């Protein structure tokens, strides 16, 4: 195979050349001439973001454990490097062997965020690969996409050969083995796609036809709704069922991760302690697509940590999950870890602030008191009941009081604007929340305080997502977002309370991608042709180009974003089965509209569908069994 030579004269003209040279500690090197299956794994963003992603580290190491597979990395080059590649006609290449991406057998994208879609097209173009799947030949690699954003694969369907739904540690070994045999026999790419349909988690868009109604959808001016999504060949499944790792203790976890040469977004060791979430926040997609909860045992976590510390040299580790407080053996884990690694700092995301967690943070921070973070999401208890957020204002204020007395002086609060049923009273509640925390600070005796307090309120905009209970809900318009944002800004008039907010039009675009169908693919293509790249980066986002693309493609934003969808509407993602059934999600939506909370999974099984999806009992562990 070819090998690309990148002259130093090019690398010296780009901002961070270390993004493009590879050779890091922990990178895997094999003899490519002896490996039958070559995979380029792409995180479609800049190197520092991609190398912070745990999923990349897991699959990179897992693929490279296979003797017949060589997995290499590729990232979206920053604009300066893109300009150099195009100027010198250099194709995009892998970091390990500098092989042109087009010469690989597979190019696998992980989809983490909708606003990376134009980067995916740019990566394909820089690699010299036709953007549309229908235009590719046997000389092109097979294009895979997976990850949480693949839960609605339809916007990217014309560009992707097949989607892998669910957790990648399960079926890729068999998939690559089948490809090795197929390649040795001289088979064609389309024939291989038909040979993997029985694996379970494989969705091949070309094998499905989408039909539309002959009249506009309710709430739309001219866009018809989907009538059906049906297989166009008998061996394509009616539903594509996600893959799931059932036992985390026996599953692979990388203990020799790649150590980048430059600082990444999360520059520390990472230890995943469990997957899934017991809580049913109705806006949350991750809580549904990562069901059920699966714990990694305390002894296994400690064993993996010993290997991580020995192999990386990091002095900080993050214990990750969707809800760290729900790990059954957290207290014991922290005590044993700190005893064994007294000089290693521990990051614990998503902690509730109570006496135990503050004592824990005090112990592990070794006197360095970082800020406290609360995802309150809504400004009033009424709205928190609507979204099923199991956190009360009094719980947060009580935690803040304990923290302030213990020397903490930084508090961050995260909220969403535009949630279903939200009123201006709920928006005002966000400001009142900040002032109540300030009052809590003022009630602490001065001799118990450290510095002056700083309260940061951050708001993002609610975007309905596939497989969440709010997938039927209307999304607020950009103008409505801005109105609420301005109103809230006017309510916060204190130097001790800082207000940060997001761009409203990016949320509109995110909504188009999150619930869009194949017709929205033209928008992604047109925006890319207009130069859109790195759309999640505020300094790179080109709003005018996106607005022009929407107009040129005839995309009706009201249809995709602003209307409430009927209960029986066919969704673009109905072809995918994550185990949580649509009827249960609809019941949750209706309970939300009545402001009725739903208990978490460990208090009561509410029949979401997972009990029949995985092995019996996998997704339900009553509280008394956790001890």
The domain boundary residue, chosen from 221, 241, 261 = 241
pTM exceeds 0.85 for this model = yes
**Same domain, yes or no: 237 and 374:** no
145 strand-pairing partners: 109, 163
pLDDT of residue 210: 98
pLDDT of residue 358: 65
Question: Is the per-residue pLDDT at 526 higher than 80?
Answer: yes
For helices 478-491 and 504-514, the axis angle rounded to 10 degrees is 140
Question: Is the per-residue pLDDT at 408 higher than 50?
Answer: yes
**Same domain, yes or no: 86 and 226:** yes
Copy the structure tokens of residue 49. Answer: 């973001």
Where does the pLDDT of residue 400 fall: very low under 50, low under 70, confident under 90, or very high at 90 and above? confident
- Find the domain containing 177 and state its range: 8-241
Mean local confidence (pLDDT), 515-537: 97
Alpha carbon of residue 159 to chain centroid: 20
Average pLDDT over the chain reads: 92
Percent of the chain with pLDDT over 90: 80
Q: How far apart are CA 450 and CA 411, in angstroms?
A: 14
Copy the structure tokens of residue 181. Answer: 């045999």
**Same domain, yes or no: 46 and 190:** yes
Domain assignment present for residue 343? The answer is no
Question: Is the per-residue pLDDT at 60 higher than 80?
Answer: yes
Where does the pLDDT of residue 193 fall: very low under 50, low under 70, confident under 90, or very high at 90 and above? very high
The domain boundary residue, chosen from 473, 502, 531 = 502
Nearest to 257 by CA among 177, 318, 324, 181: 318
- More confidently predicted of 372 and 77: 77
Q: How far apart are CA 53 and CA 143, in angstroms?
A: 20
Where does the pLDDT of residue 354 fall: very low under 50, low under 70, confident under 90, or very high at 90 and above? low
Domain assignment present for residue 214? The answer is yes
Are the beta carbons of 539 and 513 closer than 8 angstroms? no
Q: How far apart are CA 196 and CA 80, in angstroms?
A: 39
pLDDT of residue 352: 66
Where does the pLDDT of residue 615 fall: very low under 50, low under 70, confident under 90, or very high at 90 and above? low
pLDDT of residue 451: 74
Per residue in 532-591, pLDDT (tens digit) is: 999 999 999 999 999 999 999 999 999 999 999 999 999 999 999 999 999 999 999 999
Half-sphere exposure (Cβ direction) of 364: Cα atoms closer than 13 Å: 26
How many domains are there within the chain? Answer: 2
Where does the pLDDT of residue 355 fall: very low under 50, low under 70, confident under 90, or very high at 90 and above? low
39 strand-pairing partners: 71, 106
SS3 439: helix
pLDDT of residue 506: 96
pLDDT of residue 622: 44
Per residue in 71-98, pLDDT (tens digit) is: 999 999 999 999 999 999 999 999 999 9
Are the beta carbons of 614 and 579 closer than 8 angstroms? yes
The domain boundary residue, chosen from 455, 481, 502 = 502
Per residue in 245-279, pLDDT (tens digit) is: 999 999 999 999 999 999 888 889 999 999 999 89
Q: Which residue has the tokens 């930084």?
A: 410
**Cis ω for the linkage preceding 292 (within 30 of 0):** yes
Domain assignment present for residue 550? The answer is no
- CATH for 495: 3.30.750.200
Among 128-132, 236-240, 618-622, the least confident range: 618-622
Among 228-237, 347-356, 573-582, 589-598, the least confident range: 347-356
Percent of the chain with pLDDT over 70: 94
pLDDT of residue 402: 81
Domain assignment present for residue 94? The answer is yes
Half-sphere exposure (Cβ direction) of 605: Cα atoms closer than 13 Å: 17
Q: How far apart are CA 100 and CA 120, in angstroms?
A: 16
Domain assignment present for residue 309? The answer is no
pLDDT of residue 551: 98
- More confidently predicted of 20 and 447: 20
- CATH for 234: 3.40.50.2300
Nearest to 330 by CA among 298, 352, 303, 371: 298
Domain assignment present for residue 402? The answer is yes
Domain assignment present for residue 169? The answer is yes
Question: Is the per-residue pLDDT at 626 higher than 80?
Answer: no
Secondary element (H or E) of residue 272 = strand 269-272
pLDDT of residue 614: 61
Q: What angle do CA 266, 457, 47 make, to 5 degrees?
A: 20
pLDDT of residue 137: 96
**Same domain, yes or no: 235 and 381:** no
pLDDT of residue 619: 63
Question: Is the per-residue pLDDT at 162 higher than 70?
Answer: yes
Question: Is the per-residue pLDDT at 618 higher than 60?
Answer: no
Q: How far apart are CA 95 and CA 118, in angstroms?
A: 21
Domain assignment present for residue 544? The answer is no
Q: How far apart are CA 516 and CA 573, in angstroms?
A: 9
């Amino acid at each position: 195979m070819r090998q690309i030579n990148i002259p130093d004269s090019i690398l010296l003209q780009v901002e961070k050349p270390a993004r493009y040279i590879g050779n890091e500690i922990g990178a895997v090197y094999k003899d490519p001439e002896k490996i039958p299956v070559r995979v380029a794994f792409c995180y479609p963003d800049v190197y520092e973001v991609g190398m912070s992603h745990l999923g990349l580290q897991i699959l990179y190491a897992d693929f490279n454990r296979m003797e017949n597979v060589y997995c290499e990395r590729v990232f979206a080059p920053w604009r300066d490097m893109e300009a150099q590649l195009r100027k010198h006609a250099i194709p995009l290449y892998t970091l390990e062997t500098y092989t042109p991406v087009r010469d690989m057998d597979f190019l696998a994208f992980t989809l983490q965020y909708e606003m990376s879609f134009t980067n995916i097209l740019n990566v394909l173009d820089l690699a010299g690969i036709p953007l549309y799947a229908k235009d590719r030949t046997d000389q092109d690699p097979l294009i895979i996409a997976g990850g949480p954003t693949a839960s609605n694969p339809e916007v990217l369907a014309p560009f992707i050969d097949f989607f892998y739904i669910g957790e990648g540690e399960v079926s890729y070994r068999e998939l690559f083995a089948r490809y090795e045999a197929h390649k040795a026999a001289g088979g064609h790419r389309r024939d291989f796609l038909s040979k993997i349909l029985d694996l379970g988690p494989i969705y091949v868009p070309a094998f499905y036809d989408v039909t539309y109604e002959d009249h506009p959808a309710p709430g739309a001016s001219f866009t018809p709704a989907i009538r059906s999504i049906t297989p166009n060949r008998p061996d394509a499944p009616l539903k594509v069922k996600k893959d799931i790792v059932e036992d985390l203790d026996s599953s692979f976890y990388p203990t020799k991760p790649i150590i980048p040469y430059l600082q990444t977004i999360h520059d520390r060791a990472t230890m995943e302690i469990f997957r899934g979430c017991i809580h049913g926040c109705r806006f949350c997609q991750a809580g549904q697509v990562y069901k059920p909860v699966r714990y990694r045992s305390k002894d296994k976590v400690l064993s993996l940590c010993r290997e991580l510390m020995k192999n990386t040299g990091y002095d900080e580790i993050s214990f990750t999950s969707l809800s760290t407080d729900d790990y059954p053996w957290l207290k014991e884990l922290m005590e044993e870890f700190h005893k064994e690694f007294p000089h290693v700092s521990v990051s614990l995301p998503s902690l509730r602030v109570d006496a135990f967690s503050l004592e824990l943070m005090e112990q592990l921070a070794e006197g360095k008191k970082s800020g406290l973070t609360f995802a309150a999401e809504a400004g009033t208890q009424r709205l928190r009941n609507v979204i099923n957020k199991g956190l009360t204002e009094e719980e947060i204020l009580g935690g803040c009081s304990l923290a302030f007395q213990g020397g903490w002086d930084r508090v961050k609060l995260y909220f969403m604007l535009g949630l279903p049923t939200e009123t201006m009273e709920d928006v005002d509640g966000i400001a009142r929340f900040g002032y109540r925390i300030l009052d809590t600070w003022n009630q602490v005796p001065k001799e118990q305080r450290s510095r002056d307090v700083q309260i940061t309120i951050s708001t993002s905009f609610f975007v309905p997502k596939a497989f969440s209970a709010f997938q039927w809900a209307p999304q607020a318009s950009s103008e409505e977002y801005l109105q609420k944002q301005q109103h809230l800004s006017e309510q916060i008039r204190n130097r001790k309370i800082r207000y940060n907010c997001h761009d409203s039009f990016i949320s509109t675009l995110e909504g188009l991608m999150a619930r869009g169908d194949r017709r929205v693919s033209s928008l992604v293509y047109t925006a890319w042709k207009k130069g859109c790249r790195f759309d999640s980066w505020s300094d790179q986002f080109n709003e005018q180009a996106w607005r022009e693309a929407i107009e040129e493609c005839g995309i009706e934003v009201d249809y995709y974003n602003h209307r409430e969808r009927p209960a029986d509407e066919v969704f673009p993602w109905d072809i995918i089965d994550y185990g949580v059934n649509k009827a249960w999600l609809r019941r949750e939506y209706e309970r939300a509209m009545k402001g009725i909370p739903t208990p978490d999974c460990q208090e009561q099984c509410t029949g979401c569908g997972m009990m029949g999806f995985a092995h019996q009992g996998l997704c339900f562990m009553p509280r008394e069994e956790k001890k």
